[in-house]
Amino acid sequence: MQVPYKMNDSAVPVITLDGPSASGKGTIARLASQALGFHYLDSGALYRLVALAAMQANVDAHDEQRLADIALHLDVVFSDTSVWLDGKNVGDEIRAESCGEFASRIAHLPALRAGLLDRQRAFRKPPGLVADGRDMGSVVFPDAVLKIYLTASTEERAHRRYKQLMDKGISANIENLLQALRERDERDSNRALSPLQRSGDAKLLDTTCLTIEQVVDKVLEMYAETRDKASGDA
């Protein structure tokens, strides 16, 4: 049973970063949360954790009820940059392309999304939260004080994913990554439930030609402007 969502909890501000795969949401959100002293929610990791658990249990990607049950009973711990599932550090495993593809195929399932909704909202604790994903600003935290749609060209995102994998010693092919990103964008943008899209009140931030540090600075500037405006309107 879902807990009713309490809107406009101004005592706990939320910044949401939504956008396509490999746009840098996770890195930027984590660094911004550290700079602000806020909590951090990597919503994509939750879907990847469900995907990993399902793959390990040989659960079919179309078995919605079993996937929803996995989501409700995940034994997960987030610790700094580590992610633990059933007592095992699976941070690298959930970043594998196979896991990401499985997560993308199941993310549209209503029962699964419902099973993870309260779990995501529970991350909202003082002094604040930075959350990244696909529908953080539109569905999970519709009253976020700042909503950002983070994007970059498909080519740049493919190069970033390639570098990330190679740095971890994981073999990758740039053309395959580029094709996979295009297919994932198409799938995520056209799903019926919570599709990937920029909400009307989200600020666009294109990171194609920006460094990580520059993007983090822009996010912090946006938040400072939003906070100052809110103080002035009070």
Task: Compute CA 78 distance to the chain's CA centroid, rounded to the nearest angstrom.
Answer: 14
100 annotated to bind ligand: no
19 annotated to bind ligand: yes
Report which residue type is found at 149: Y
Task: Compute CA 145 distance to the chain's CA centroid, rounded to the nearest angstrom.
Answer: 17
22 annotated to bind ligand: yes
Contacts of 83 (CB under 8 A, 6+ apart): 45, 49, 76, 77, 89, 90, 91, 94
Tokens for 17? 């970063």
20 annotated to bind ligand: yes
The count of other CB atoms within 10 Å of the CB of residue 105 is: 14
Q: In a 3-state reduction of DSSP, which class is residue 172? A: coil
List residues forming the annotated binding site for ATP: 19-27
List residues forming the annotated binding site: 19-27
